[in-house]
Amino acid sequence: MRGRIKIFRPTNAQLDSQFPFERPESYALGWRRSDYHGRMFIAHSGGMYGFPTYAAILPEERVAVVVLANGPKSARDEYSLQKAIVFEVFDRLLSMPRSDWRAAFLERHRAVAEKSAAEERALSLKRDPSVQQAIPQAYEGCYRDHAGPGGDVVLNVVHGKASLQFLGGGYSAALQPWREGEFRLRPDAIIEDLEGPTFIKLPMGSTPPLSLELFGASFTRIGEATSCKSPAGAER
């Protein structure tokens, strides 16, 4: 019991509140900590693209709920669907005052969707529609993250249009011309909703770039696309 208490003990400053809490939360060893109806509430969220998960515990009641799901998860959504299920179960198990968690989730989902649409409209105004850059075929090739776990990424070019693919299938995206020398990565909608808008600098010239800057890592060109390989742990 002492070990569990230590794990749940707050270790740093307060965090901003997340749905449905209104007061600041704290952070323990890997767990967000809050208060639910006077009880210690511990939770952790995560998952791969398309598989959002949420685990919540009321340690003093010895009750835990884990929600596993298939589908998208917005970076702004804060796992509202999974949380609505968790709190509905907690309310029923502990005979707590019932709340309409379905309505709360739908309201949260609507607000997030409206905010996302407004941000996308504002972002689109920054795009230069006159820029229609054709990427030279010579830019096609394999780029490798020598310093980190990113592995190899292939830049494919077909009729002047390019796409990126991390080997292993974890991430791929088309390159949309945005401004001169800049492209927006347009992955699958589920991934873009999670990652948010992502851009890459790709100055046009007669020779391919020596490196690509992606997700905070530098990928150095090592040769043709066939030079790529997928080392263990390189999937994104």
- Please give the pLDDT value at position 169: 62
Give residue-wise pLDDT tens across range 57-92. Answer: 999 999 999 999 887 665 567 888 899 999 999 999
Q: How confident is the model at residue 42 (pLDDT cuts 50, 70, 90)?
A: very high
Hey, what domains does the chain have and what are their CATH numbers? 2-124 (no CATH), 137-227 (2.40.128)
- 28, 10 Cβ separation under 8 angstroms: yes
DSSP 190-211: HHHHHH--EEEE----SS--SE
What is the phi/psi pair of residue 33, to 5°? -125, 135
